[in-house]
C-alpha cells in the first residue's frame, strides 16, 4: 500500500505555545485514517496542518515535513490554493454558501476554471452531487437555496463542494458530530464509498464511528501521537496502556 501523505517530526506552535510535538505518521493512499483523542489533544490542529489551513492564524509556526506524493507542502513557493484544491476540507459544522444548491457546488469549479463550457459545468455539478449521495434528493430543486436543506443534506452538500474540484485527499473534522443518527449513518456510508477513490482523514470523538469507517487509527494525547495502528488492532489489542484506557472510557 503506497503512502499518500508522509509526516515527519512535525512541531506546531501558536506563538510561543507548542501545540504539537514531533508527530511522525504515514497515511496510506485510498484508505480512511481516523484521529481520536480527548478534546484539546491537537487532532484538529494536526488535521489542518495537512492543507495549511492554520496559515490563516497569526503567529503560528510549523517545523518538520508534510509530504504529499513526496512533495513537501511547507516548502517556500508552494501554491497554497492548488494545495487546498488537492486536499479538500469538510468542517464540523456544515457551512453552505448563501447561494443555490447548484451554485454551491459550481463555485469551486468556476474559480478554478476546470470546466470547458456550461454543459460541462452542469455535468460536473451533477457528478459531485451524485458522488456525495445527494443527487436524487436535490435534482428537482437545484436552483433553490442551500439553506432549505436539512443539516445532514447540508453536510453532504459541503462534501459535494469539496469533491467538485477533484481533490485527491479529503480532510473531515468531525463531519457528523452535529447530526442525528440517520444523517450520521449516511455520512459514514459515504466515507466508506469515497475511499475507493480518495484518501480520507477524519477527526472523530465517536469511538464507534472510528471503528466503523476507518482502516487505521491514530490516538493523540496532549499534542503527542501516542499510537497508530490498523483500526481493528487499535480497538482490540492496542500497544499502549494509555490508548486502552482512553478507548475503554477510563478517561477522556
Q: Provide the pLDDT for residue 245.
A: 94
Grid coordinates representing 11 are: 512541531
Distant-in-sequence, close-in-space partners of 226: CB < 8 Å, separation ≥ 6: 37, 219, 220, 240, 242, 243
Element containing residue 44 per DSSP (H, E) = helix 43-49
Tens of each residue's pLDDT in the chain, 252 residues: 799 999 999 999 999 999 999 999 999 999 999 999 999 999 999 999 999 999 999 999 999 999 999 999 999 999 999 999 999 999 988 899 999 999 999 999 998 888 899 999 999 999 999 999 999 999 999 999 999 999 999 999 999 999 999 999 999 999 999 889 999 999 999 999 999 999 999 999 999 999 999 999 999 999 999 999 999 999 999 999 999 999 998 876
Distant-in-sequence, close-in-space partners of 160: CB < 8 Å, separation ≥ 6: 104, 105, 128, 129, 131, 132, 134
Q: Provide the pLDDT for residue 252.
A: 63
Residue with cell 484521529: 35
We find that the CATH architecture of domain 3-247 is 3-Layer(aba) Sandwich (3.40)
How many angstroms separate the CA atoms of 23 and 104, rounded? 35
Q: What is the pTM of this model?
A: 0.94
Q: Provide the pLDDT for residue 125.
A: 97
End-to-end CA distance of the chain: 32
Quote the DSSP letter at residue 134. Answer: -
How many angstroms separate the CA atoms of 49 and 157, rounded? 24
Q: Where are the domains of the chain?
A: 3-247
How many angstroms separate the CA atoms of 73 and 77, rounded? 9
Question: Exposure string (b/e) for 70-101, b if CB count within 10 Å is 16 or more?
Answer: eeebeeeeeeeeebbbbbbbbbbebebeeebb
Amino acid at each position: 500500500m503506497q503512502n499518500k501523505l508522509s509526516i515527519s517530526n512535525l512541531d506546531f506552535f501558536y506563538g510561543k505555545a507548542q501545540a504539537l510535538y514531533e508527530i511522525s505518521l504515514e497515511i496510506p493512499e485510498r484508505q480512511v485514517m481516523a484521529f481520536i483523542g480527548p478534546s484539546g489533544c491537537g487532532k484538529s490542529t494536526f488535521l489542518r496542518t495537512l492543507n495549511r489551513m492554520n496559515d490563516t492564524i497569526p503567529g503560528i509556526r510549523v517545523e518538520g515535513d508534510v509530504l504529499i506524493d513526496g512533495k513537501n507542502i511547507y516548502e517556500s513557493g508552494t501554491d497554497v490554493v492548488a494545495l487546498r484544491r488537492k486536499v479538500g476540507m469538510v468542517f464540523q459544522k456544515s457551512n453552505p454558501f448563501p447561494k443555490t444548491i447548484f451554485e454551491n457546488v459550481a463555485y469551486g469549479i468556476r474559480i478554478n476554471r476546470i470546466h470547458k463550457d456550461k454543459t460541462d459545468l452542469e455535468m460536473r455539478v451533477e457528478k459531485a452531487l451524485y458522488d456525495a449521495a445527494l443527487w436524487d434528493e436535490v435534482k428537482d430543486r437545484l436552483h433553490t437555496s442551500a439553506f432549505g436543506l436539512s443539516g445532514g443534506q447540508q453536510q453532504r452538500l459541503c462534501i459535494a463542494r469539496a469533491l467538485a474540484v477533484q481533490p485527491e485527499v479529503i480532510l473531515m473534522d468531525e463531519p457528523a458530530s452535529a447530526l442525528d443518527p440517520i444523517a450520521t449513518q449516511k455520512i459514514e456510508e459515504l466515507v466508506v464509498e469515497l475511499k475507493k477513490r480518495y484518501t480520507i482523514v477524519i477527526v472523530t470523538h465517536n469511538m464507534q464511528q472510528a471503528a466503523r469507517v476507518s482502516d487505521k487509527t491514530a490516538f493523540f494525547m496532549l499534542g503527542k501521537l501516542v499510537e497508530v495502528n490498523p483500526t481493528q488492532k487499535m480497538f482490540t489489542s492496542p500497544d499502549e496502556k494509555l490508548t486502552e484506557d482512553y478507548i475503554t472510557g477510563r478517561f477522556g
